[in-house]
């Protein structure tokens, strides 16, 4: 590539970045003075109390208030006029600054993982439909995501201990981030094992199964990753003690957030994956067809198992999932109304699972994403699309490069959806 072509490409990217920043700022200015939307009023109250020096946690705040403390500190520095008057636009600006930092953190990770694809991935990230509106609102999800991505960046840069330390701070914003701290730790160890495998020993009579029975191999893992193992263990113990002392995972309103085994968020996430990634499924159609033709019996059994599980486990029992102002609740209410609707709901879920099965990720350790997503979503009774934000974002980072038409189709589709969602939220028509 000639120097002129390189400069032209660089110039196009700079212009694209400037236009993106301008668009984000215009969206922010259009909503900065809007009355608190949905859960914003709870977060606003906690932030204001902190900014006034009152550190009691409000009854409606379920998270450890790390996000509220950061925004309150920013508000204290940026506040205009009387401290006893809440300026919603200033508080939203403080949160918006965290959103911009999260975008930068994603781009840093994308450069490390995706290389030249990072420029397209950052656009996909910004316009991901269930994330885009949150950039401008008082919600904890973007801040938790940003802190986790910063931890992931350090891990990618071979700064594993620092990455775990930074990633663990996201627990102070959303408790479910504990799962993703384990993801970081396991990724470090699995990546090392992938690059230099341990000696393996076949189990007699089970020729296709191999396990590590070598004590030297285990010593190697300990010697190379002692700090990671010890730090992760310490974080796990500290989190267990927090739950024990706190009496649950939620700080307040514990009766609405009991820890259990609930499949609702898993089914909703797969349903949304099918809807939001339609161009990817079209690109995967041929590979999906080959799997069905080669393994018809196994495919039928898996489809039957999914349908049965959806019918038995997809229920709408949480009181907060009955508020029709939220789009997710309309989906949950409609598809949990009868067995017929549940079976209909299971069809896109089956296709989503099949599409995931034929979608290649960039490395073997990246496939940890799937079991860790299940662990993250399984304990939550309340069905919320926001709980799946980190899994969706990691999928954007780890998925192999797709054909240009797939990525551009996704981008066009997501820009349209983001515009509709943002407009609907700003007009008080609905929330996600």
pLDDT interval class at 16 (50, 70, 90): confident
Average of per-residue pLDDT values in the chain? 89
Q: Does 239 have pLDDT greater than 80?
A: yes
Specify the pLDDT at position 190.
Answer: 86
Q: Does 257 have pLDDT greater than 70?
A: yes
What are the residues whose beta carbons fall under 8 Å from the beta carbon of 241, sequence distance 6 or more? none
Specify the pLDDT at position 115.
Answer: 85
The tens digit of pLDDT for each residue in 31-77 reads 999 999 999 999 999 998 898 888 889 888 999 999 999 999 988 88
pLDDT interval class at 83 (50, 70, 90): very low
Mean pLDDT of 126-130: 97
Specify the pLDDT at position 80.
Answer: 53
Q: Does 210 have pLDDT greater than 60?
A: no
H or E segment and range at residue 210: strand 206-211
Q: Half-sphere exposure of 127 toward its Cβ, with a 13 Å CA cutoff?
A: 24
Taking a C-beta distance cutoff of 8 angstroms, is the pair 248, 254 a contact? yes
**pLDDT > 70: percent of the chain:** 90
The tens digit of pLDDT for each residue in 381-393 reads 999 999 999 999 9
Lowest average pLDDT, out of 140-154, 199-213, 326-340, goes to: 199-213
β-strand pairing of 201-203 with 206-211: antiparallel
Residue 173 DSSP code: T
The tens digit of pLDDT for each residue in 183-197 reads 999 999 888 776 666
Q: Does 256 have pLDDT greater than 50?
A: yes
Around Cβ 196, how many Cβ atoms within 10 Å? 8
Helix (H, G, I), strand (E, B) or coil at 431: strand
Specify the pLDDT at position 199.
Answer: 58
Give 413-421's long-range contacts (Cβ < 8 A, gap of 24+).
Answer: 413/276, 413/278, 413/279, 414/124, 414/127, 414/128, 414/129, 414/132, 414/276, 415/127, 417/129, 417/276, 418/127, 418/128, 418/129, 418/132, 418/133, 421/129, 421/130, 421/132, 421/133
Helix (H, G, I), strand (E, B) or coil at 278: helix
The tens digit of pLDDT for each residue in 294-306 reads 999 999 999 999 9
Mean pLDDT of 219-223: 78
**pLDDT > 90: percent of the chain:** 73
Mean pLDDT of 236-242: 95
Specify the pLDDT at position 222.
Answer: 81
Sign of the CA dihedral with 47 first, then 51, 52, and 57 last: positive
Going from N- to C-terminal start, the domains of the chain cover: 1-139, 160-251, 260-401
Closest CA to 270 of 341, 348, 176, 337: 348
Q: Does 93 have pLDDT greater than 60?
A: yes
Taking a C-beta distance cutoff of 8 angstroms, is the pair 127, 415 a contact? yes
Closest CA to 396 of 373, 420, 419, 362: 362
């Amino acid at each position: 590539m000639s120097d002129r072509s390189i400069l032209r490409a660089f110039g196009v990217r700079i212009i694209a970045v400037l236009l993106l920043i301008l668009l984000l700022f215009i969206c922010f200015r259009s909503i900065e003075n809007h009355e608190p939307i949905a859960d914003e009023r709870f977060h606003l109250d906690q932030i204001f109390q902190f900014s006034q020096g009152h550190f009691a946690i409000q009854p409606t705040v379920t998270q450890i208030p790390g996000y509220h403390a950061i925004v309150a500190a920013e508000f204290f520095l940026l506040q205009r006029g009387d401290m006893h008057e809440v300026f919603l636009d200033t508080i939203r600006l403080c949160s918006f600054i965290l959103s911009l930092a999260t975008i930068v953190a994603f781009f840093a990770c994308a450069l490390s993982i995706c290389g030249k694809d990072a420029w397209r991935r950052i656009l996909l990230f910004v316009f991901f439909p269930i994330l885009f509106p949150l950039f401008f609102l008082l919600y904890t999800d973007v801040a938790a995501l940003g802190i986790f991505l910063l931890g992931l960046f350090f891990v990618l840069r071979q700064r594993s201990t620092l990455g775990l330390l930074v990633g663990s701070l996201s627990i102070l914003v959303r408790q479910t981030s504990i799962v993703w701290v384990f993801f970081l730790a396991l990724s470090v160890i699995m990546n090392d094992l992938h690059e230099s495998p341990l000696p393996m020993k076949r189990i007699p009579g089970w020729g296709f199964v191999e396990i590590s029975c070598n004590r030297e191999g285990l010593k190697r893992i300990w010697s190379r990753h002692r700090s990671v193992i010890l730090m992760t263990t310490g974080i796990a113990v500290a989190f267990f003690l927090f739950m024990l002392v706190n009496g649950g995972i939620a700080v307040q309103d514990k009766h609405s957030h009991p820890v259990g085994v609930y499949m609702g968020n898993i089914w909703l996430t797969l349903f949304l994956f099918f809807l939001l990634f339609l161009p990817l499924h079209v690109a995967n159609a041929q590979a999906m067809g080959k799997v069905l033709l080669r393994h018809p019996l196994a495919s039928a059994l898996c489809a039957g198992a999914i349908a049965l599980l959806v019918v038995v486990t997809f229920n709408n029992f949480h009181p907060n999932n009955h508020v029709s102002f939220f789009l997710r609740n309309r989906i949950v209410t409609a598809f949990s109304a009868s067995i017929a609707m549940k079976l209909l709901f299971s069809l896109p879920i089956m296709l989503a699972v099949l599409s995931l099965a034929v979608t290649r990720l960039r490395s073997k350790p990246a496939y940890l994403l799937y079991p860790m997503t299940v662990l993250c979503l399984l304990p939550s009774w309340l069905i919320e699309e926001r709980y799946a934000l980190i899994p969706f974002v990691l999928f954007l980072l780890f998925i192999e490069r797709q054909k240009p038409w797939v990525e551009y189709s996704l981008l066009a589709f997501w820009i349209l959806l983001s515009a509709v969602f943002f407009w609907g939220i700003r007009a008080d028509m609905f929330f996600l």
